């Protein structure tokens, strides 16, 4: 495993150039360019905030920031999963010509989405600083930063798994699209804290949903300027280790045969 990761690192100039190419091609000819990374979470936050503030009697400013930070994390997971399905197909030309570790192609997809995630995270931090009066450096370095690293590792693992699955079973992409829509409503992204804590379904979301620890690490650190509980670090690390192990086994078994199914 260490040798494989070293070979991935040795190809860093190659996959970094692919990530830059993906970002440039996405915004080429666009009027507002990278600003489109913020349009989706801002508009979704505004729409959902208007609805939920009326239903649950929430403060628009506080709940809007809560929702925006949650959507930032969710959008990264959703895009890494959905686009990860096609990561090997989009790289077919490179795979046939360049003998590189297969893991770099899902990594390429995840890093491009990580750029958009960081772009959306900046206004969340600015809004939090305006709300709280300052930005907590310990919460930023010990909460948001490790949370983002663990989230990146999770996205890479998931992208590998769905990418391998989609090579063998082409309906994986469509099933994933539907599954992510359902999973969104089972994730405490848009539900107020009171709903999550007081309702039975909310407690299930808080306890068993694998996205919840990552939301706690990143969103709670941003909103409260406090370090998340140790259980959030432990849960997120265990989830990443489990998903990473499964992804490593799947790629180890299928890497040499993937090219024959593209």
One digit per residue, the tens of pLDDT, for the chain of length 262 reads: 777 888 888 888 888 888 888 888 877 766 666 666 677 777 777 777 777 777 767 777 778 888 888 889 999 999 999 999 999 888 888 888 888 888 889 999 999 999 889 888 888 888 888 777 777 777 788 888 889 999 999 999 999 999 999 988 888 889 999 999 888 888 888 877 666 666 666 666 667 788 888 988 898 888 887 888 888 899 999 999 999 999 999 988 887 787 777 6
For residue 101, is it left (φ>0), alpha (ψ between -120 and 50) or beta? beta
Q: How far apart are the first and last CA of the chain?
A: 25
The residues, ordered by sequence, that sit 6+ positions from 49 with a Cβ below 8 Å of its Cβ are: 58, 60, 63, 64, 67
Q: Residue ranges per domain, the chain?
A: 2-261
**Torsion sign across C-alpha atoms 13, 18, 24, 27:** negative
Distances (CA, A) of 33 to 36, 78, 98, 117, 163: 6, 21, 31, 15, 28
pLDDT at 149: 93
pLDDT at 220: 84
């Amino acid at each position: 495993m260490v040798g494989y990761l070293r070979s991935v690192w040795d190809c860093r100039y190659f996959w970094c150039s692919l990530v830059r190419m993906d970002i440039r091609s996405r915004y080429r000819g666009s009027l507002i360019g990278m600003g489109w990374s913020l349009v989706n979470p801002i508009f979704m936050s505004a729409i959902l905030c208007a609805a939920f503030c009326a239903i649950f009697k929430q403060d628009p400013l506080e709940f809007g920031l809560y929702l925006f930070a949650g959507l930032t994390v969710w959008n990264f997971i959703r895009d890494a999963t959905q686009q990860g399905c096609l990561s090997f197909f989009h790289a077919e030309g490179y795979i046939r010509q360049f003998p590189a570790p297969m893991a770099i192609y899902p990594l390429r997809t995840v890093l491009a989405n990580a750029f958009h995630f960081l772009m959306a995270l900046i206004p969340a931090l600015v809004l939090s600083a305006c709300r709280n009066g300052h930005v907590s450096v310990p919460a930023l370095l010990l909460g948001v930063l490790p949370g983002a690293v663990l989230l990146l590792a999770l996205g890479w693992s998931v992208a590998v798994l769905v990418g391998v699955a989609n090579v063998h079973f082409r309906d994986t992409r469509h099933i994933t699209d539907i599954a992510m829509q359902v999973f969104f409503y089972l994730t405490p992204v848009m539900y107020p804290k009171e709903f999550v804590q007081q309702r039975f379904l909310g407690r299930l979301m808080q306890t068993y949903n694998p996205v919840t620890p990552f939301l706690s690490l990143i969103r709670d650190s941003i909103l409260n300027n406090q370090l998340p509980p140790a259980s959030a670090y432990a849960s997120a690390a265990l989830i990443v280790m489990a998903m990473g192990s499964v992804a490593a086994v799947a790629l180890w078994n299928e890497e040499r045969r993937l090219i024959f199914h593209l």
